[in-house]
Amino acid sequence: MTAVAGDNVEAIRQMWEAYGRRDLDGVLACIHPDVEWREAVHLFDRGVYRGHDGIRQLWQENDEVFPALQIDVDDAFDAGDGTVVVIGRFHDSVRGVETTIRFVHICKLRDGLLAELTEYEDAEQVSALLNARSGS
């Protein structure tokens, strides 16, 4: 059974709430086994993560770079045709520098689960973070 529009938004909110609890199993429960997660194009250039194994790899890589990453979802809305748009902020500290990065996620759901995610981030904020991380 495919979820209705409001359920799609709720499914994405539940995924981010599970992430906030550091509950990988809870995150994976919201994600289709054949997911494709496209990271924002920036200097990390980590590309596309596929399937639950790819999400586990993404989780591990994020923990290495952003050990205290917090996510605030400011808005999530149905854009039709199984698409949910999420607007929010990532927060963390890198080398003592508090960082907030705005993001937009375009999410496609299938059978009520996240099947595709494309991420866009504020490039200026990412640059400042990378400079702090490298000690520049």
Number of domains present in the structure of the chain: 1
Q: pLDDT exceeding 70 applies to what percent of the chain? A: 81
Q: Is the pLDDT of residue 100 over 80?
A: yes
CATH number for the domain spanning 105: value is: 3.10.450.50
Q: Is the pLDDT of residue 29 over 70?
A: yes
Q: CA–CA separation, 17 vs 36, rounded Å?
A: 20
Task: Give the pTM.
Answer: 0.81
Give the chain's mean pLDDT: 84
> Which range marks the domain in which residue 58 is found?
5-134
CB 49 within 8 Å of CB 61: no
- Residue 124: predicted pLDDT: 64
